[in-house]
Structure 1
Amino acid sequence: MLAGCTPWPEEFARRYREAGLWLDVPLGELPRQWAREYGTATAVVSGQERLSYVELDEKIDRMAGGLAGHGLVRGDRAVVQMTNESTFLIVCFALFRLGVTPVFSLPAHRDVEVIHLIETSGAVAYVIPDVRLGYDYRLLASRVAIPRRTVRTVFVAGDVGEYAEFVSLSTVGEEPTGLPEIDAEEVAFFLLSGGTTGLPKLIPRTHADYFYQLRSAARLCELDRDTVYLAVLPMEFNYCLGCPGVLGTLHHGGRAVLALSPSPDGCFPLIERERVTMSSLVPTIAHAWVEAREWSDADLSSLEVVQIGSAKLHESLARKITPMLGCRLQQVFGMSEGLMSYVRRGDPEDAVLHTQGQPLSEFDELRVVDPETGEDVPRGECGELWARGPYTIRGYYNAPEHNAVAFTEDGFYRSGDLIRQTERGDMVVAGRIKDVINRGGDKVSATEVEGYLQGEEGIRQAAVVAMPDEVLGEKTCAFVIADGKAPTGLQLRSSWRAKGIADFKIPDRVELVDALPLTGLGKLDKTRLRADIAAKLREEAG
């Protein structure tokens, strides 16, 4: 295990090996297996490029040889910041074969985040595209990969432009020699934490635990050679990479279609042309797709299932997925740190619409506890989710102080997610601990209030955050996108009282906006909303 990472205790590792969960198969070997089994079948569609399984494996080998020729050796780290294109897969699998650990940086990251990742990981290489969606990543690299940092080489997918010291990946390629033997229980790559409390922490995922996750997710989702998966979210994101995502699709001989943008303008033609059967979305993107379906005449008839996760899916949107997109809805809950939960085919409609299903693995261990006492709460009551299992990490990279808080002494990860379990055992995600507003002692769930708001006529989308208050400490502020004429605060109060909703849950302030800010993953950026309303209050007071 890489220094700075917390391994699973040997008794747990032995249990997972003996049960056949952890296999001695490093991720870099998978494309070789796929090439032997699926041969000339199309593996990846990236723009106008179509790669067979054999071609993908050959490109990975040549890339590994070329990267080794530029000085990358086992034990190095490399920050990889790519958009959804075949080069991302080729580079990452080449690094796996060399024993070099990729650190995944989202395409939307800029100076602050990339510098943090380089300095935290000690990366010696930085992999970027040239220009994508109007942004020049070479300019970013020129600012963050300077000599005083550890980066020795910047690799560019495309034209290096005026940066002669950068290396174009198009010139990197030779037959590999002397590739190292990789232990499957070594760290394969670093995912990133959500970063809701600051800059992201590095999440070490091993070859063995991640291979188990993607195999299990692919089996649960019934993937096969006919699966055509549309990668809409960045592949650096666990959800799109291996839940089952791109890797699960390739492992079963399907076809991965890579989208540069999540917009329906770009994705609907891909679904029609490639006969896409499956994709994974976050609620904000799903909302855009549903709205676009009202005017789009694209043929989406091939679409069989859309996974929606990573944020709360409210019932009003959940009910629109099947009639508007013509496919089955599969709610998903998970975290880059590990635990995944899925609604299964055949689950009752109530579970499909209102829950995030049940854990992926029978070896997943869950506790739902009072976050203040750590005591288990009765079934049906809301509490913090604690998780432990064969693909849930035991600690962040080089973060001993945070690990002491985020993990229990017996290895449970304190997720910070508030959930309850139904009698069937399905998980219902209520929000985050930090997404509960303490309004003078009354605890208000932002997620619950958002659900009420989005059920109101005249409201298209809503986001609820805390705003500072001298008397109560915090009050609720609702940012609302109107659908026609939004209801007034007085109308909301009258409507909600008639429905029996407590007065303290009625938003103290409603802000009408044209759009809600999003993170680089297309998730709602509540940190930005809290800052916006606090600044507005200061301005009004001053």
Structure 2
Amino acid sequence: MTVYYATSSPNRSGLQSKIHVYLLTGTSPPNFSFANYPPTGTLTGTSTYPPSPSLTTYPPVHSLVLLPAHLLPRSHVQVLMPKFEPDRFLKAIQDYKITQAPVVPPIIVFLTKHPMVEQYDLSSLRSILSGAAPLDAHLQAAVAERLRCACRQGYGMTELSPIVSFSPRDPDAIVLGSCGKLAANTTVKIVDSLTREALPVGSEGELCVKGPQVMQGYLNRPDATAESIDADGFLITGDLARIDETGTLFIGDRVKELIKVKGFQVAPAELEGLLLKHTDVADVCVIGVPDERHGQLPCAYVVPRNEAHLDAEILLDFLKPHVAEFKLPQTFRFVDSVPKSASGKLLRRAIAELEAKRGSEAEGIKQE
């Protein structure tokens, strides 16, 4: 099976995997609990599973849309949206009595903070499934409380067919801020991204994954395949992660998205999660901008909530008790919105290009 998907990397336009891996990842309960099903039912012929509508905002080029295919024989209804539109998304949940919705963290932010949410009946929702980027524990708890449903996280990528881990079905067993437990037959290691040496349990480093879901390779690109899969068969994901003593996986930023400040690493997701805790921040995206003295400096694009008055001083005072000084943003841009993909994912590259045009390499705290 050859999978083509949208990507900004020239090395990742087409990959080869085995079709049975997608079926196993989707249908095996220990591997991937996409929905809360009753204990009885059939996979073929007539189904005893009650309809359980799911709303999908991921575009067709996203590998996650392949997984719900195994649910169709179970009379499972899939409602597809070509792109995320807030009012249509909420109306679809209300009208189709959606029980679960896989989304990205920026949509979690919307569901947590936007007043529009109160205008719709979302009581049918049993589970929100977050993926594609790290979700802060505070936001995960906040959306679950507001919508009165479970909020679960998973981790995967197209090269991994695409699931590595997922939160348990039991809401009481969910570890906030984590991507849950590993799928069956999956092995991971955390390595130093420079030396490639394995790190001890609890350390943060680059995640490498081995298991039946690992792709066979990139189509007609043996060099790219060799760079991505090590000699022991582990796929090098490019994501920062740590795994604790219980086997729970916590995902950080992409290695290439880390902001390098005087040799120190700053994770955009960490700053975004903290800023979103401020009651007057509706949305935010943090990027690194070039700086002659420091290499890079954090820059925060902030969307104020309900035209609230915000300035750099207010947000810096809010951040200072929680992060080291070198992590503090040196530029704040106050904007009406931040660019996102059709599925709602932050488009950091578009923001970086916009910032480059502004020419913001000057020293000192700036706001606009």
What is the TM-score when the length of structure 2 is the normalising length? Answer: 0.86
| Partner AA of 1:241 in structure 2 | L
Deviation at 1:514, TM superposition (A): 1.0
What is the rounded CA distance, in whole Å, between the counterparts of 1:447 and 1:454 in structure 2? 10
Residue number in structure 1 paired with 2:328: 506
CA deviations 1:337-356 (Å, max 9, x no partner) are 1142111023656x442111
Deviation at 1:396, TM superposition (A): 1.2
Q: Is 2:2 the partner of 1:210?
A: no
Residue correspondences, number: 347
Check conservation: 2:159, 2:214, Cα contact below 8 A: yes
What is the rounded CA distance, in whole Å, between the counterparts of 1:282 and 1:488 in structure 2? 28
What is the rounded CA distance, in whole Å, between the counterparts of 1:341 and 1:221 in structure 2? 15
Q: Secondary structure at the match of 1:372?
A: coil
Q: Secondary structure at the match of 1:270?
A: helix
What is the aligned-residue RMSD (CA, Å)? 2.5
Residue number in structure 1 paired with 2:45: none
Q: In the alignment, which of 95, 99, 107 is matched to residue 273 of structure 1?
A: 95
Task: Summarize the Cα distance change of 1:391–1:345 in structure 2 as closer, same or farther, 3 Å threshold.
Answer: same
| Partner AA of 2:176 in structure 1 | L
Q: Secondary structure at the match of 2:159?
A: coil
Q: Is 2:12 the partner of 1:192?
A: no
| Partner AA of 2:170 in structure 1 | G
Q: In the alignment, which of 216, 233, 236 is matched to residue 61 of structure 2?
A: 236
What is the rounded CA distance, in whole Å, between the counterparts of 2:292 and 2:130 in structure 1? 38
Q: Secondary structure at the match of 1:279?
A: strand
Q: Secondary structure at the match of 1:353?
A: coil
Deviation at 1:214, TM superposition (A): 1.5
Q: Secondary structure at the match of 2:353?
A: helix
Q: Is 2:260 the partner of 1:438?
A: yes
Residue number in structure 2 paired with 1:449: 271
Task: Summarize the Cα distance change of 1:367–1:540 in structure 2 as closer, same or farther, 3 Å threshold.
Answer: closer
What is the rounded CA distance, in whole Å, between the counterparts of 1:240 and 1:539 in structure 2? 41
Task: Summarize the Cα distance change of 1:297–1:445 in structure 2 as closer, same or farther, 3 Å threshold.
Answer: closer
Residue number in structure 2 paired with 1:410: 232
Alignment of 1:349-498 (within 5 A): 351-361=174-184, 363-483=185-305, 484-485=307-308, 487-497=310-320
CA deviations 1:271-314 (Å, max 9, x no partner) are 33332211111112233344456454433222211101111212
What is the rounded CA distance, in whole Å, between the counterparts of 1:295 and 1:212 in structure 2? 36
Q: Secondary structure at the match of 1:337?
A: helix
Deviation at 1:267, TM superposition (A): 2.9
Q: Secondary structure at the match of 2:17?
A: strand
Check conservation: 2:11, 2:218, Cα contact below 8 A: no
| Partner AA of 1:201 in structure 2 | S
Check conservation: 1:263, 1:289, Cα contact below 8 A: no
Check conservation: 2:257, 2:267, Cα contact below 8 A: yes
Check conservation: 2:111, 2:117, Cα contact below 8 A: no
| Partner AA of 1:390 in structure 2 | P
Deviation at 1:208, TM superposition (A): 1.5
Deviation at 1:450, TM superposition (A): 1.4
Deviation at 1:428, TM superposition (A): 1.0
Deviation at 1:249, TM superposition (A): 2.1
Check conservation: 1:331, 1:356, Cα contact below 8 A: yes
Task: Summarize the Cα distance change of 1:292–1:511 in structure 2 as closer, same or farther, 3 Å threshold.
Answer: closer
% identity of equivalent residues = 26
Gaps spanning 5+ residues in structure 1: where? Answer: 1-186
What is the rounded CA distance, in whole Å, between the counterparts of 1:402 and 1:199 in structure 2? 6
Residue number in structure 2 paired with 1:343: 167
| Partner AA of 1:423 in structure 2 | E
**Structure whose residues are more often helix by fraction:** 1
Task: Summarize the Cα distance change of 1:347–1:194 in structure 2 as closer, same or farther, 3 Å threshold.
Answer: farther
Q: Which has the higher contact order (CA 8 A, sep 6+)?
A: 2
| Partner AA of 1:389 in structure 2 | G
| Partner AA of 2:298 in structure 1 | T
Deviation at 1:539, TM superposition (A): 9.8
CA deviations 1:424-472 (Å, max 9, x no partner) are 2111111110121111112111111112221224222211111111222
What is the rounded CA distance, in whole Å, between the counterparts of 1:340 and 1:456 in structure 2? 32
Check conservation: 1:203, 1:337, Cα contact below 8 A: yes
Check conservation: 2:150, 2:171, Cα contact below 8 A: no
Deviation at 1:516, TM superposition (A): 0.8
Task: Summarize the Cα distance change of 1:449–1:267 in structure 2 as closer, same or farther, 3 Å threshold.
Answer: closer
Alignment of 1:167-178 (within 5 A): none
Check conservation: 2:291, 2:361, Cα contact below 8 A: no
Deviation at 1:380, TM superposition (A): 1.2
Check conservation: 1:232, 1:240, Cα contact below 8 A: no
Check conservation: 1:240, 1:280, Cα contact below 8 A: no
Task: Summarize the Cα distance change of 1:444–1:270 in structure 2 as closer, same or farther, 3 Å threshold.
Answer: closer
Deviation at 1:364, TM superposition (A): 0.8
Residue number in structure 2 paired with 1:318: 140
Moved more, 454-463 or 267-276: 267-276
Residue number in structure 2 paired with 1:101: none
Q: Secondary structure at the match of 1:535?
A: helix
What is the rounded CA distance, in whole Å, between the counterparts of 1:347 and 1:423 in structure 2? 21
| Partner AA of 2:314 in structure 1 | Q
What is the rounded CA distance, in whole Å, between the counterparts of 1:259 and 1:299 in structure 2? 19
| Partner AA of 1:298 in structure 2 | Y
Alignment of 1:96-245 (within 5 A): 187=1, 189-192=2-5, 194-195=7-8, 197-198=9-10, 200-216=12-28, 219=33, 221-223=35-37, 225-226=49-50, 227-242=52-67, 245=68
Deviation at 1:193, TM superposition (A): 6.1
Deviation at 1:261, TM superposition (A): 4.0
Q: Secondary structure at the match of 2:27?
A: helix
